[in-house]
Amino acid sequence: MKKTVLTDEQIISDLLPKKFGKWGMAWTGVLVVICLLGMFAYYRQLRYGLIVTSMRDYASWGIYISNFVFFVAISLVGSLITAVLRLTGVRWSTPLTRIAEIIAVSAITFGAIIIIVDMGRPERFYYLFLYGRLQSPIIWDVTVITTYFFISVLLLYIPLLPDMKILLAGKEKKGIYRFYSFLGSFWKGTHMQYRISKRAINILCITIVPVAFSIHTVTSWLFATTYRPGWDSSNFGAYFISGAFLVGAGAVSAAMYVFRRFYKLENYITPEHFDKMGKIVVMLGLLYLYFNVNEYLIPYFKMKKSEEAFLNGLFVGEFAPLFWSAIFGGMIIPMIILLFPRGRTPYPMFICGTMIVVGAWFKRYLIVTPTLLHPFLPMHNVPESYKHYFPSWEEWAIAFGSLAGALLVITIFVRIFPIIPIQETLTEHHQKEL
Amino acid sequence: MDTTSTSRKAFLSSIITTGLALAGCAPKKDPFELAAGEHAKASGEKVKLLSVDGEVIEVDKAFLRPVPEMPAVSNSEERRGIPGKKFVMVIDLSRCKNLRFCEKACNHAHHLHTGLNWLKVYPMDEAEHTAPYWEPTMCMHCDEPPCVKVCPVDATFKRQDGLVLIDSDRCIGCRFCMAACPYSARVFNWEKPDTLTAEEVCQPYSCETSVPQKVGTVGKCDFCPDMARKGELPHCVSACPNGVYFFGDLNEDSVTNGAETFRFSELIRDKAGYRLMDDLGTKPSVYYLPPVARNFPFEKGLENDNEKS
Ligand code: SF4
Ligand code: SF4
C-alpha cells in the first residue's frame, strides 16, 4: 500500500500532536469569538426570557431543537465507524476511529447543552431527575443520551491508553505531563492490560450499537409521538437513523481531509481511505433517499387535508427553495459526484462531505419548523410575528456558538492527543511487515 | 448559650425576610391576625349572627371584620380534583357572533400577558362550498390528553374531575406539550406577564386559578375550578351575552349557561352534539352543537374581528 518504508520513530513523530501553526491559532481564535458571542446571546435570553428568540406559540420549537437533532445525528457516526466497522472486522478504518469518536463525544455534549438552552426554565433542569415520568419521550431521550455519552467517552479513552504511554515517554515532568499521567500513568502495556482493554472495547462496541440506534430513534419520537402533519409517521425512526448515518459519514469525510492536510498525515490517511469512505457515503445516501421517498412522496400521493398545506409549503411554497437545496445539495449531488472514482479523491470528498453536513443542518430545520407552522386549527387573531419563523440574532448566535463549541472541543483534543491511534498504527505496521 | 442561639435565629430570619423583600415579595401574613396597633374597642352596638352550629349569637359590631380570602387549596388537593365531579362544556355554534366577551373576561381573570389568549374564536370555513361559522376553542380537557402523556415532569396533569391543569412551579418550559396538543390550546409565557401587579407576582401560584402566570412556563384554559369550588360558572360562560357556553357536570347530567339549564344527554342528542377532531382519540370534554338555525349571520361577527382573513 505505502511505497515509503516508515520506521517506528517516524510514525510516532508524525502522529504526535503538534503545536498550532498560524492557521491553527486563527481558527481557534475565530471559534472562541463565536462561542463568546453565543454566550452573550444566552445571557440575554436568561435575562429577558425566550422572548429574545423568534419562537412564538405556533413555531414553539426552532433552530435550537433542529440543532439538537443535528448534533444527535452527527454523533451517531462514532458508533458507525468505531463499532460497526470494528465488529465486522474491517481493518482499514483504524486511522479513522478516533476522528469519529471525538466527533461523537463533542456533538453529543453540545446536543445536551442546546436542549438546556431551549428550556424556558433551565434552573429547573434537575426536575427531570426529581419528578421524571417514564412515559415521556423526553425522559427516554435523557436516559439514552447520557448512556451514549458515557460509552462514547470510554470508547475514546480506552484506546487512548497505549498512546498515553507514548506521549509520556521523553516528556518533562510538568504541565501537560501531569495531565497525561493523571489520565493514563497506570497503563504499563502488560499483556494482561492489553487483554482487558481488548475485551472492554469489544463489549463497548457491542453495547454502543443498540444505544446509538436508540438515541436517534427516541429523538425522532419526540416528533413522531405527536399528531402533527409531517411528524405523525411510523417511518420516522428509520428515516432519522439513515439521515444520521449519512451526515456522520459526511462529517468524517470532511474531517479526514482537514486533518490530513493540516497535520501532514498523507501516509496514514491515504487515497484508499477516501475511496472507501466515498463508497460508504454513496450507500448511505441511497438509503437516506429511500426513506425520503417514503416520508414525502407517499403522503403526497394521498394528500390528506391536514398534510396538504404542509406538503405544498415544502414542495412549491414558502420552504421550497430550502427543501430542494437540502435534497439536492445535501444528498443527490454529492452522491452523484461520489459515484465516480475521481470524485472519491480527497478534495472532492471534502466538498461533498461539507455539502452533506450543511444540507443536513437545513434538513433538520425543515423537519421542525414547517410542521409547527401548519397547525390543525387556523392561525388567527395572533400578531403577525406568530405566523412566520425566522430565527433572531440571539438564536443564530447561540446555534453557531454551539457548533463552534463542538469544533473547539475537537480542535483542543487534537492539540493534546494524537488524532490517529499511534499504537494501533504501529501494531498494524508490524503485522504488515511480517 | 440560649441567648446566642435565639439571636442567631432572629438574625437568620431577618436575613430571610430582607431577602424576600429584596426579591419584591413580603412574607405571607396570617390574614386572620390583627394588624399591628389595631385594637378593637367594644362599641356597645350588637348584631345577631348565626353560628356554625346553627345557634343565634350576639356579637359587638366592632369585632366584626370581613372574612379574608379562603386559604388556598393545597397542591396535592389541586392535583386530585373535586371529588364526584366530571366537568363538561357545551358550545352552541349557532349562537356565536364572535363578540369575544369571553376572551376578554378570561384574559382579565387570569391576568394574561397582553396579546395572549387562552380562548380563541376562529372563523371556520371548511371547504369551498361550505358555510363559514365562528368557532370558540379553548383547552378541551381531553380524557386521553396527549399533552399530559408527553410532559416529562408531571407539570401538566389529569385530575379525577376531568380537568387538565398546569403547575407553573413545576413546568420546565420544554414546550413538548405545545407540540403534542392538536388544538393549539397551549400558550407560552415568552416574557414576564405585563399585567401582574407587584402583589400578584408574589402570591403563591395556584393550579386552580392559574395565577400568577410565570415567565418561561406554559399556560392554558383551566375551566376555572376555583369558580366551581365557589359554585360559580367559569368566566367565559358568565361573560357571554348570547349564552353560547354551557358548563356543567357529566355526573349530574346537567349543563347551564346561567340563564338556561339543560340535561346534557338530551341537549347532545337533540342537537347532534359532537367533539372536535374526535378521530384523533383525544376524547375531549368540550362538545359542540352544530351551527344550524343560527341566531346571527356569519358576517355579523366580522365586525369584531381584528384580522380580516
Ligand atoms: S386540548 Fe390540548 S391542552 Fe387541552 S387537554 Fe387536550 S391536548 Fe391537552
Ligand atoms: S412545557 Fe411544562 S407543562 Fe409542557 S411538557 Fe414541558 S414541563 Fe410539561
Determine the pLDDT at residue B3: 45
A334-343, B53-62, B81-90, range with the lowest pLDDT: B53-62
Cα(A420) to centroid(ligand 2), Å:
44
Does B296 score more than 60 pLDDT? yes
Determine the pLDDT at residue B39: 63
pLDDT interval class at B272 (50, 70, 90): very high
- What's the total number of domains in chain A? 1
ipTM of the complex: 0.90
Any idea what DSSP says for residue A209? H
The answer to whether the beta carbons of residues A350 and A257 sit under 8 Å apart is: yes
pLDDT interval class at B4 (50, 70, 90): very low
Handedness of CA B171, B176, B182, B186 (dihedral sign): positive
Asked, for residue A4, whether it belongs to a domain, the answer is: no
pTM of the predicted model as reported, rounded to 2 decimal places: 0.88
Determine the pLDDT at residue B2: 45
Determine the pLDDT at residue A218: 95
Does B62 score more than 90 pLDDT? no
Asked, for residue A70, whether it belongs to a domain, the answer is: yes
Determine the pLDDT at residue B11: 46
Of B122, B152, B216, the CB nearest to A121: B216
Determine the pLDDT at residue A387: 92
Determine the pLDDT at residue A221: 95
In Å, what is the CA distance from B303 to each residue of A253, A427, B126, B174, B306?
61, 82, 21, 37, 8
What is the distance between the alpha carbons of residues A107 and A68, in angstroms, rounded to a whole number? Answer: 9
Of A50, A125, A139, the CB nearest to B190: A50
CATH number of A146's domain: 1.20.1630.10
Give the structural domain span for A280: 20-433
Atom 5, ligand 2: which residue's CA is nearest? B151
Chain B nearest-CA distance from A316, in A, is 22
Asked, for residue A11, whether it belongs to a domain, the answer is: no
Chain B nearest-CA distance from A53, in A, is 9
Determine the pLDDT at residue B60: 83
Positions in chain A short of pLDDT 70: 1-5, 170-173, 434
Which ligand is nearest to the Cα of residue B186, counting in written order? Answer: 1
Does B16 score more than 60 pLDDT? no
- B150/A227 touch (CB, cutoff 8 Å), yes or no: no
What is the distance between the alpha carbons of residues A368 and A361, in angstroms, rounded to a whole number? Answer: 11
Residues of each domain in chain B carrying CATH 3.30.70.20: 75-304
Whether residue B220 has its Cβ less than 6 Å from ligand 1 = yes
The answer to whether the beta carbons of residues B248 and B240 sit under 8 Å apart is: no
pLDDT digit string, tens, across residues B98-157: 999 999 999 999 999 998 999 999 999 888 899 999 999 999 999 999 999 999 999 999
Architecture of the domain spanning B75-304: 2-Layer Sandwich (3.30)
Asked, for residue A171, whether it belongs to a domain, the answer is: yes
Torsion angles phi and psi, residue B304, rounded to 5: -95, 5
A161-165, A205-209, B69-73, B174-178, range with the lowest pLDDT: B69-73
pLDDT interval class at B66 (50, 70, 90): low
Whether residue B159 has its Cβ less than 6 Å from ligand 1 = no
Q: Report the range out of A232-236, B122-126, B201-205, B221-225 with the highest average pLDDT.
A: B221-225
Determine the pLDDT at residue B156: 97
Asked, for residue A155, whether it belongs to a domain, the answer is: yes
Any idea what DSSP says for residue B271? T
